[in-house]
Amino acid sequence: MIDIVVSEKLKTDKDVILAVEISLKVDIEDVQKAARRAIVIGKAYKIETIGLS
């Protein structure tokens, strides 16, 4: 589950969404899950989405 979703404007003036998954311990599986969920959110909103863990 993604814990935080933030709409942000990069320094290049490009709009993106940050999909953040918060965890006490981060491993490769957490990073991969955040990336997969970011893809789904990006497709739904038709905007580049960056997954963070």
Token pair 């580049």: residue: 48
Counting the structural domains of the chain, the total is 1
HEC per residue, 1-53: CCCEEEEEECCCCCEEEEEECCCCCCCHHHHHHHHHHHHHHHHHHCCCEEEEC
Contact between 15 and 7 (Cβ < 8 Å):
yes
Give the model's pLDDT for residue 25.
87
User: pLDDT 10s digit of each residue in the chain, 53 long?
Assistant: 778 889 989 899 999 999 988 888 888 988 898 899 999 999 999 999 998 88
Q: What is the span of the domain harbouring residue 34?
A: 4-52
Give the model's pLDDT for residue 46.
94
